[in-house]
Chains A and B, each alone.
Chain A
Amino acid sequence: MKKLVSIHLFKINNMEQKTKINAEDGKQDLMITREFDLPLELLFKAYAAPEIVEQWMGTKVLKLESKKHGSYQFETTDAHGNVVFKANGVIHEFSPNRKITRTFEMDNTPFGVQLEVYEFEQLTDDTSKLNMHVIYESAAQRDQVLALPFAQGLNMAHNRIQEILNTLNN
Chain B
Amino acid sequence: MNLRRDIFQAMADPTRRAILLLLASQTMTAGAIASNFDTARPTVSKHLQILTECQLLEHKQNGREIYYQINAKKMKEVADFIEPFRKMWDDRFNKLETIMKNYKSQNNEH
Q: Which residues of A contact B (CB under 8 A)?
A: 1, 5, 8-9, 12, 17-21, 23, 32, 34, 36-39, 42-43, 45-46, 52, 55-58, 130, 140-141, 143-155, 157-158, 161-162
Contact = CB atoms under 8 A, between A and B. Distances in A.
Interface of A is mostly: helix
B74 to A, nearest CB: 11
Interface of B: 6-8, 11-12, 17-18, 20-21, 24-26, 77-90, 92-97, 99-101, 103-104
A52 B90 contact: no
B101 A38 contact: yes
Closest 8 CB pairs of A and B: A153-B84, A149-B84, A147-B24, A19-B90, A143-B25, A56-B96, A151-B21, A56-B95
B100 A45 contact: yes
A21 B85 CA distance: 9
B101 to A, nearest CB: 7
A48 to B, nearest CB: 12
A82 B107 CA distance: 36
Given A38-B104, A149-B87, 18 more contacts: A9-B79, A9-B80, A17-B86, A19-B86, A19-B89, A21-B85, A23-B82, A37-B101, A143-B25, A144-B24, A146-B85, A148-B85, A149-B88, A150-B79, A150-B85, A151-B24, A157-B11, A158-B8
